[in-house]
Amino acid sequence: MLATAPMFNGTNTQGSHRYWVQWVTDQSHTDMKVIGYCVRDMDKFDKNIVFEHESKIVCEKIAGLLNEGSR
C-alpha cells in the first residue's frame, strides 16, 4: 500500500496544516486502485501515517480534529 499526493481536506491549500488526508492505493494492480484513505503528520520528517480508514469522510474529520489541536 502506498499513500500518494495530498488531497483537499476542507482546509486551506497553503500547507499550513500539520495533518493531511491522502489516498491509499493497491500496488499489486497495473492500474491505480484506491483502497482507502489515511491521515499523515506532515511535520514529521518521515511523514508518518497516524490514521487509516476506507472512508474519505472519516479521514477528513479526523484530520480536522487533529489540526484544531495542533494550532
21-71 pLDDT, tens digit per residue, is: 999 888 887 788 889 999 999 887 676 899 999 999 999 999 999 999 776
**pLDDT for 11:** 41
Closest CA to 20 of 12, 9, 10: 9
Query: Cα–Cα distance between 68 and 18 in angstroms, integer?
Result: 10
46 phi and psi angles, rounded to 5 deg: -90, 5
pTM over 0.75: no
